[in-house]
């Protein structure tokens, strides 16, 4: 089981973008920008990080977990798909 997956480069890109965005929010705070603008920008960063987390978890389920479990019946696959859907609430 490899530690790097197909989705990792996209996750890294997303997180680097969020990192730059977060730095600009710090500058906005230091410049005394309005709280509404700050909250909107913080929300955008939070969503970007959350999407990266969801992508990572789904990639793990799709590759690592399925590889560990091996071939599955239709019922077993349904359970795994349900787990994948539940993971979006993490």
Which CATH number is 29's domain given? 1.20.58.1000
Which residue did the predictor score with more confidence, 26 or 6?
A: 26
Q: pLDDT tens for residues 23-59?
A: 999 999 999 999 999 999 999 999 999 999 988 888 8
Among candidate residues 90, 34, 30, the one with its CA nearest the CA of residue 60: 90
Residue 2 maps to a domain: no
Domain with 68, as residue range(s), is: 8-89
Residue 1 maps to a domain: no
Residue 3 maps to a domain: no
Query: What is the number of domains present in the chain?
Result: 1
Helix, strand or coil, per DSSP, at residue 34: coil
Q: Is the per-residue pLDDT at 1 higher than 70? A: no
Give the long-range contacts of residues 1-6, CB within 8 A, separation 24 or more: 1/64, 1/67, 1/68, 5/59, 5/60, 5/63, 6/59
In whole angstroms, give the CA distance from residue 18 to residue 12: 10
């Amino acid at each position: 089981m490899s530690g790097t997956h197909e989705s990792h480069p996209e996750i890294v890109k997303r997180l680097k973008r969020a990192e730059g965005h977060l730095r600009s929010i710090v500058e906005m705070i230091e410049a005394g920008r309005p709280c509404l603008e700050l909250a909107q920008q913080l929300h955008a960063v939070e969503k970007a990080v959350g999407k990266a987390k969801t992508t990572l978890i789904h990639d793990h389920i799709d590759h690592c977990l399925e590889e560990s479990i091996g071939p599955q019946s239709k019922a077993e696959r349904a359970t795994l798909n349900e787990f994948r859907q539940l993971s979006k609430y993490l």
